[in-house]
């Protein structure tokens, strides 16, 4: 399983990224960082890479991505900034998120929240989901087009990709 700089597949542009609910656990003013994983944190390692593209499928440099999620037990840190952070895409519109595979939050399937904003553009709030999770079928917020593409998986880690398309 790759844990360093990942080689990204070619961008995938399959229509605009749909908005989903922000949920009750969003906190503003998250720290700027691409790695949310910390020593001793509950959850198996997860690396998510991809692009932020515009409606014409061109990469968007400098787009903001603000991530938040539950730990491996499905618990959110609502007092601090564990498993929360924001970053900007590089000159080629790429991002890399180092985190943990989220656990099941009561009533929800495994997911990672993200707010995306292109320079001068509107903010889109959405969620990433994971293929093969039984609870996907029971979660009213689940959107199949927001499934990450698993690139590599072992019993204790995963690398995946997802490309966002903003208006």
- The predicted-structure confidence for 45-104, as pLDDT tens digits, reads as follows 999 999 999 999 999 999 999 999 999 999 999 999 999 999 999 999 999 999 999 999
| pTM over cut 0.75 | yes
Distance separating alpha carbons of residues 92 and 132, to the nearest angstrom: 31
- The pLDDT, as a whole number, for residue 9 is 79
Given a contact cutoff of 8 angstroms between Cβ atoms, the answer to whether 11 and 164 are in contact is no
């Amino acid at each position: 399983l790759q844990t360093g700089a990942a080689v990204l597949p070619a961008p995938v542009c399959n229509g605009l990224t749909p908005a989903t609910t922000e949920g009750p656990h969003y906190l503003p003013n998250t720290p700027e960082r691409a790695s949310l994983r910390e020593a001793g944190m509950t959850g198996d390692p997860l690396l998510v890479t991809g692009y932020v593209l515009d409606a014409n499928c061109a990469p968007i440099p400098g787009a903001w991505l603000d991530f938040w999620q539950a730990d491996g037990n499905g618990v959110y840190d609502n007092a601090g900034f564990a498993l929360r952070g924001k970053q900007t895409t590089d000159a080629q519109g790429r991002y890399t998120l180092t985190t943990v595979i989220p656990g099941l939050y009561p009533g929800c399937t495994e997911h990672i929240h993200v707010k995306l904003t292109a320079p001068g553009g509107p903010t889109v709030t959405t969620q990433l989901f994971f293929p093969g999770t039984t609870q996907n079928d029971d979660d009213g917020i689940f959107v199949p087009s927001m499934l990450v593409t698993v690139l590599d998986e072992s019993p204790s880690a995963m690398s995946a990709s997802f490309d966002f398309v903003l208006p």
